[in-house]
Amino acid sequence: MTPSKNPVGIDAIAFAGPQCYLDMRDLAAARKIDPDKFTKGLGQEQMAVATPCEDTVTLAAKAAQATLKNFDIDPSEIGTLIVGTETGVDHAKPVAVYVHEILGLPSNCRTFETKHACFGGMAGVGTSADWIASGRARGRKALIIASDIARYGIGTAGEPTQGAGAVALVIGQNPRLMNLHLNCIGDYTRQVMDFWRPLYSKYAFADGHYSIQCYLDALEGALADAKSQVDDPHTLNTDSMEACFYHVPFVKMALKAHRRHVELQHDVMNDKALNESYAQRVAPWLTLNATVGNIYTGSIFLALIDFLRRLDPSSEGKNTSFFAYGSGCGASYSAGQVADNAAAWRHLVDPAAQLAARRRLTVEEYERLMHEDEHADDNEATHSDPTRWQLDGDLFYLGTHNHQRVYGGMPKAHMKRAG
Ligand code: HMG
């Protein structure tokens, strides 16, 4: 993989999550399950829980605001806005157009939503990188936001793998953080019923163990396609990578994925080598996934943020791999290269303070919130009160009026129209 002279890649990134979380030990106690199953068996410590006032729009907008502000990018520089989500707020109107208004983006910005389960965010990154590489961007950048609220329901096998949050990325030329190798992207698609959410359901349905198998098959297929595009397939081996990023529905899944990745390049599996490779290239960047949970489209980028916030200058110029998976299923295997001087920006991407400020919910509060949310969209006039959940800030979903969603903290013009 030869770096391009005018590389396209990730210029800025930020995470925004809900203000409350549930501790996995509290959940295990309430479900009468050994807590080690959640913490060691799945690898999860906490999961972010969105209150009724925090939806896919507010999470997306907060992540995007932080990205533009922290990296000093003016809204006028954005020519494409894509929100990848599988938990949108309307059957027709995209989350992206609310975000477009909140950020004050230019009217000649192409704005839309992508859906393919957890693959929607990476699909947006690939599409926008091609747009920039083609020259059609005319110097402008793309803003991609992966925003979701993952819910399986109380007492289900998927319950400990819930989560919520958004990651916003700016894709541009000569990026500050990560160059993307656009000449090597492996794709994989196959119709499978491993995880889905019917139109009538707030909760996802999953054939959990089958979904793990589908994920691993997709990794094999996408990697094979990527290898067919490079002169030397060994350049995509795990040992050629400084870090390997996977879609992380729960932390243990990244270990299963890395095992398969290593298996595919060696005839004989060596447990010691696998463990060392995992400890060096994957595990260090899974601490945010363990404390936020599955954020669907954004999960792979949460691992990337964890890597970037602790980036050592010695990693600059080195390659990384990305395996993005969306149930149903669609996947891609691609590679990046840490940009020169990327470590200089690491302090801008760290969400540690935001996570430390979260409020720990009791299981009773969490269950009440889940029951309320289950029926929140049954009727036209619902109203959410941020003070009830002790939330800070001013950008909240407040309910519907005249069949329109109402947000606190939106520009005045929108509030007038909605009210
Ligand atoms: P489960 O059947 O309740 O759990 O559901 P299990 O019995 O398989 O146990 C899980 C692990 O804990 C196992 O480890 C156990 O051995 C271990 P493994 O064998 O896998 O290494 N364990 C313990 N460890 C220590 N102490 C103990 C103990 N007990 C058990 N006492 C499942 C697990 C993941 C299936 C479930 O949570 C689920 O259905 N989750 C949702 C589906 C999912 O996350 N699938 C992942 C692949 S598909 C995907 O990633 C796409 C997705 O993000 C959606 C999208 O694309 O939009 C989901």
Task: State how far the alpha carbon of 34 is from the alpha carbons of 31, 41, 144, 152, 254, in Å.
Answer: 9, 10, 39, 20, 22
Residue nearest to atom 51 of ligand 1 (CA): 327
| Closest CA relative to residue 59, chosen from 147, 143, 121 | 147
Instruction: Evaluate if residue 163 carries a pLDDT over 70.
Output: yes
Ligand 1 proximity of 212 Cβ (cutoff 6 Å) = yes
pTM for the structure as a whole: 0.96
Q: What pLDDT was estimated at residue 381?
A: 72
Hey, what are 406's tokens?
A: 């109402």
Per-residue pLDDT reduced to its tens digit, 343-379: 999 999 999 999 999 999 999 999 999 999 888 888 7
Per-residue pLDDT reduced to its tens digit, 293-323: 999 999 999 999 999 999 999 999 999 999 9
pLDDT band, residue 418 (cuts 50/70/90): very low
Contact between 158 and 47 (Cβ < 8 Å): no
Instruction: Evaluate if residue 3 carries a pLDDT over 80.
Output: no
Helix axes 299-309, 120-133, angle to 10 degrees: 70
The whole-angstrom distance between residue 178's C-alpha and the CA centroid of its chain comes to: 17
How many whole angstroms from 323 Cα to the centroid of ligand 1? Answer: 19
Per-residue pLDDT reduced to its tens digit, 388-407: 889 988 899 999 999 999 99
More confident residue, 269 or 259: 259
What is the atom index within ligand 1 of the atom nearest the CA of 160? Answer: 37
Distance CA 171, CA 115 (A): 19
Cα–Cα–Cα angle for 144, 150, 151, rounded to 5 degrees: 160
Active centre residues (catalytic): 86, 118, 247
Instruction: Evaluate if residue 331 carries a pLDDT over 60.
Output: yes
Report CA torsion sign: 269, 270, 271, 277: negative
Burial 260-285 (b: 16+ CB within 10 A, else e): bbbeeeeeeeeeeebeebbeebbbeb
Ligand 1 proximity of 195 Cβ (cutoff 6 Å) = yes
Ligand 1 proximity of 326 Cβ (cutoff 6 Å) = yes
* Residue ranges of domains in the chain, CATH in brackets: 8-360 (3.40.47.10), 375-418 (no CATH)
How many whole angstroms from 208 Cα to the centroid of ligand 1? Answer: 7
From 12-26, 80-94, 256-270, 362-376, the region with the lowest mean pLDDT: 256-270
Q: What pLDDT was estimated at residue 411?
A: 47
Task: Please state, for a pLDDT cut of 90, what percent of the chain lies above it.
Answer: 87
Residue nearest to atom 34 of ligand 1 (CA): 208
Choosing from 192, 211, 327 the residue with most ligand 1 atoms within 8 A of its CB, the one to mutate for a pocket test is: 211
Ligand 1 proximity of 87 Cβ (cutoff 6 Å) = no
| Closest CA relative to residue 141, chosen from 297, 305, 11 | 11
Per-residue pLDDT reduced to its tens digit, 187-235: 999 999 999 999 999 999 999 999 999 999 999 999 999 999 999 999 9
What is the atom index within ligand 1 of the atom nearest the CA of 248? Answer: 50
Half-sphere exposure of 278 (CA within 13 A, CB side): 20
- 8 three-class SS: strand
